[in-house]
Structure 1
Amino acid sequence: MKKYQVWIMLILATLFWAGNFVMGSYVVNEMDPVWMTFSRWFLALFLLFPIAYFVEKPNWKLVKKDWHYLILNGILGIIGYNLILYSALEYTTSTNASLVAAMNPGVIVVASVILLKEKLSKMQLLGFIISLIGAFVILTEGNIARIFQFDFNKGDLLMVGTIIVWTFYSIIGKRLSLPPIAATAVSALIAMILFAPFAFAQGINFSELSPLALTGIVYFVLFPSVGSFIFWNIAVREIGASQSGVFLNLIPVFTAIISISLGQMITLVQVIGGLFVFTGVYLTTGLLDKRILAKKEKAMLKKSS
């Protein structure tokens, strides 16, 4: 596959995920986060399993081996993350939500150091601190003194919860034997079985939903749940997780662009906080270290030749 084709897939994946933030902020006005999560992933099952079967041709016997990880992933990544995300969008803007969520790659690196004993360079540590400052700028709306007053937007705090949940989900995912699409399909099936009693106990009348809300459900199923995941995993296979990870920074950018086009305002504080987060994530994920190392390797090859 040509590199520009991979880039197109990564751009589309992040664009679809950005749309999840924006569309979610509208749909949550009509649907409870419980039913937004349940309807999205229940319907996605009918696409994920066939796609996993034809694209990955997985060995389904591995489900028995990974069952405890798959249950945890279903609870954390399918139920927990989406439930908290859509709940957050009831209280904060889609742009703020995506900017706080942009810290995720950096937090995953730091968590991997603590839990998986991976090494962290001084540059990565500096990056994590910078991204943390950016998150505090966004959380406090530019007034850092509010940290000591514990006066935060409820939605922004919930987004911090999504970072924690997704970090554990990502670390557990590294231990799975099943390929990613198949693992997601099985995790989603387990999650829906566990979540169904809560959803049906709450109840919903789909006839009362507006065309926008129904369109939102279709969007959640086709694009962030299925399209983004397939494009992302094909790209990771082609160019690796490190290079693909750079494109995650496009999510808040696309979210801001979509929000502006729909008439929402972007503040200077959001821009400044976002720049801190992007810079920090760039350093924490080790991309700068890898580029420096690559330059050194090239220089050594030139000398040896």
Structure 2
Amino acid sequence: MTLAAATTTKRARRRALTVAVASLLGATLFWAGNYIVGAGAVESIDPLSLVLLRWSLALLPLLAIAQIAERPQWRQVLAAWPWLLALSMFGLLGYNLLLYTALEHTDAFSASLINAFNPALITLAAAAFLRERLTRRAVGGVLIALAGVLLVLSNGDAGKLLQAGFGTGELFMIGAIAAWSAYTITGRLAPPLPPITATAVQAAITVVVLTPLSLAGGGPSLPSPPDAVASLVFIALFPSVLSYLLWNRALTVIPAGTAGVFLNLITVFTALFTILAGHPYSIAQIAGGAVVIAGILLTSARSQRGRSMPFSWRRRQPGNLEA
């Protein structure tokens, strides 16, 4: 290879890496927006209706993009329906229903701080169910992250937490991260499927399951104020469609383990949105969030060094995305 060709190749790689990083930033930015906009949306749309309407609107774009970008073998994809059903129940339905219910009772910032503990919880679940090795560094990172979560939950007053217990929103948010951990573990056990295609099928299953439940309760509560309609459209398009596209585009360049660290930016972006919007926040929330992210980074450092799974196989797992 000539010097000019090598220089061109190096520039192309640098450009691809820049685009991949920008894609990860965009994906996590939109997922953070799901917390902020979702907190406003549940003021006029009940959580079940919000989940149903979100994936109903996102379904057709996801199917179209999956067909164009991945050209899936649909018979092979549908043969994995038990796995896709489980993934839908844990992830697109379970996680989001619990998240939006939590946002009815707590603020978006607190919810995102609890969600930041999710990678540590997944590490523990992987050790329990996938027999992945749990090192001292990983245990230390999990304990540090847990301390940060407790700091957020207690608002800096551990005694008050022991007396009053967890709030309703916090309990639902803990349930949400447990559901996402189950989603991730199931995704690692499931057969490899094209990620956008898998997401589209899970969205279809979510719509099919929730539609009769919604009709039994009188039908979905449709948004009427202009702000509620705009919130629903944002949630359906940006965190539901664009984030998945950006994330999977980035994973063609950046290893999944490295990309996973970017998920911590969801909490950072949510905190910035909260501060810029003038919503109240406490020193305990800021300190707790910093402690959680420090613990996760410690755990992630161990995880990235210990992964030997081929990148091409990891990238295709349907359970490695944030909803």
Using the size of structure 2 for normalisation, the TM-score is 0.86
Match of 1:281 in 2: 296
Of 212, 223, 239, the residue aligned with 1:197 is: 212
Of 118, 126, 130, the residue aligned with 2:140 is: 126
- Give the drift of 1:266: 2.2
- Give the drift of 1:80: 0.8
Supply the distance in 2 between the matched residues of 1:199 and 1:286 (Cα, whole angstroms): 43
Match of 1:179 in 2: 194
- Give the drift of 1:289: 6.9
Tell whether the 8 Å contact from 1:282 to 1:288 is kept in structure 2 after alignment.
no
Specify whether residues 205 and 33 from structure 1 end up closer, same or farther in structure 2 by C-alpha distance, changes over 3 A only: closer
CA RMSD in angstroms comes to 1.6
Q: Match of 1:61, SS? A: helix
- Give the drift of 1:111: 0.7
Tell whether the 8 Å contact from 1:84 to 1:159 is kept in structure 2 after alignment.
yes
- Give the drift of 1:285: 2.1
Tell whether the 8 Å contact from 2:137 to 2:302 is kept in structure 1 after alignment.
no
Match of 1:77 in 2: 91
- Give the drift of 1:150: 4.9
Specify whether residues 233 and 112 from structure 1 end up closer, same or farther in structure 2 by C-alpha distance, changes over 3 A only: same
The answer to whether residue 152 in structure 2 is matched with residue 138 in structure 1 is yes
- Give the drift of 1:284: 1.4
Give the 5 Å matches for 1:46-57: 46-57=60-71
- Give the drift of 1:163: 0.7
Give the 5 Å matches for 1:150-169: 150-169=164-183
Specify whether residues 233 and 194 from structure 1 end up closer, same or farther in structure 2 by C-alpha distance, changes over 3 A only: same
Supply the distance in 1 between the matched residues of 2:167 and 2:191 (Cα, whole angstroms): 36
The answer to whether residue 107 in structure 2 is matched with residue 86 in structure 1 is no
Moved more, 209-218 or 280-289: 280-289
Aligned residues: 290
- Give the drift of 1:234: 1.7
- Give the drift of 1:63: 2.6
The answer to whether residue 107 in structure 2 is matched with residue 98 in structure 1 is no
Of 257, 260, 272, the residue aligned with 2:275 is: 260
Supply the distance in 1 between the matched residues of 2:248 and 2:226 (Cα, whole angstroms): 32
Match of 2:305 in 1: 290
Of 225, 230, 240, the residue aligned with 1:210 is: 225
Supply the distance in 1 between the matched residues of 2:236 and 2:53 (Cα, whole angstroms): 8
Match of 1:19 in 2: 33
Unaligned runs of 5+ in 1: 292-305
Of 105, 114, 130, the residue aligned with 1:116 is: 130
Supply the distance in 1 between the matched residues of 2:304 and 2:201 (Cα, whole angstroms): 36
Tell whether the 8 Å contact from 2:46 to 2:221 is kept in structure 1 after alignment.
no
- Give the drift of 1:31: 0.6
- What one-letter code is carried by the residue in structure 2 that aligns with 1:18? A
Give the 5 Å matches for 1:58-73: 58-73=72-87
Match of 2:320 in 1: none
Tell whether the 8 Å contact from 1:104 to 1:163 is kept in structure 2 after alignment.
yes
Supply the distance in 1 between the matched residues of 2:276 and 2:118 (Cα, whole angstroms): 26
- Give the drift of 1:78: 1.3
Supply the distance in 1 between the matched residues of 2:27 and 2:304 (Cα, whole angstroms): 26
Supply the distance in 1 between the matched residues of 2:271 and 2:97 (Cα, whole angstroms): 22
Supply the distance in 2 between the matched residues of 1:261 and 1:51 (Cα, whole angstroms): 34
Unaligned runs of 5+ in 2: 1-12, 307-323
Supply the distance in 1 between the matched residues of 2:30 and 2:292 (Cα, whole angstroms): 21
Tell whether the 8 Å contact from 1:109 to 1:285 is kept in structure 2 after alignment.
no
Tell whether the 8 Å contact from 1:97 to 1:156 is kept in structure 2 after alignment.
yes
Supply the distance in 1 between the matched residues of 2:184 and 2:127 (Cα, whole angstroms): 13
Supply the distance in 1 between the matched residues of 2:261 and 2:304 (Cα, whole angstroms): 14
- What one-letter code is carried by the residue in structure 2 that aligns with 1:242? G
Identity of aligned residues (%): 39
Match of 1:4 in 2: 18
Of 257, 262, 265, the residue aligned with 1:242 is: 257
- Give the drift of 1:281: 0.6
Supply the distance in 2 between the matched residues of 1:36 and 1:205 (Cα, whole angstroms): 8
Tell whether the 8 Å contact from 1:59 to 1:178 is kept in structure 2 after alignment.
no
Deviations 1:21-52 (A, max 9, x none): 00011111101001100000011101111111
